[in-house]
Amino acid sequence: MKTVKQILENKANAVYFVSPSTYVYSALEVMQQKNISALLIMDGKVLHGIFTERDYARKIALKNRSSKETRVSEVMTSNILSITLKDTIEYCMKVMTDSHIRHLPVLENGEVVGIISIGDVVKNIIESQKSTIEYLENYIYG
């Protein structure tokens, strides 16, 4: 199975983030412009949290808070699970499934080097299964 490093090498590895003092509305604008559903919350190179569409729905919309008056630091998920470049896609799937999350920041030596989404994981599992099926078909019918 592929490692996180291999996945990031084949993916546009842009890491989008905002500072903890950013207002939720501005963070949502960035997410809309970049067509992403999660933003890392960073101060320089220090990762403080992650802000997702789920955070917005549960902590802003459902609680009648103003996205133009609330800073992301107030509603971000700060207890962040992360992975490393050496972790496997199987491991990422397990962490995401067990924790009910869709994004994992990739850290090396305490610094963010990328982010993996559930879409990245599923795509790579499907590719791996296709390869296995092709191999087995060639073996059987070969």
Say how far apart CA 33 and CA 99 lie, in whole Å: 28
Predicted confidence (pLDDT) at residue 138 exceeds the cutoff of 90 = no
CATH entry 3.30.70.260 includes domain 4-141: no
Task: Please give the Cα distance from 116 to 14 (Å, whole number).
Answer: 11
Q: Is the pLDDT of residue 73 over 80?
A: yes
Confidence tier at 36 by pLDDT (50, 70, 90): very high
Rounded CA separation 50/24 (Å): 12
Which amino acid does the sequence have at 61?
A
Instruction: Give residue 122's Cα distance to chain centre.
Output: 13
For residue 130, what pLDDT is reported? Answer: 78
* Percent of the residues in the chain that have a pLDDT greater than 70, as a whole number: 100
Tens of pLDDT, residue by residue over 46-72, are: 999 999 999 999 999 999 999 999 999
Q: Where are the domains of the chain?
A: 4-141
- What's the chain's average pLDDT? 93
Backbone φ, ψ for residue 37 (5° rounding): -115, 5
Distances (CA, A) of 116 to 15, 26, 81, 89, 136: 10, 23, 12, 10, 29
Q: Identify the weakest region by mean pLDDT among 3-7, 25-29, 71-75.
A: 3-7
Of the pLDDT bands very low, low, confident and very high (cuts 50, 70, 90), residue 1 is confident
Answer whether residue 135 shows pLDDT above 80: no
Give per-residue pLDDT as tens, 89-124. 999 999 999 999 999 999 999 999 999 999 999 998
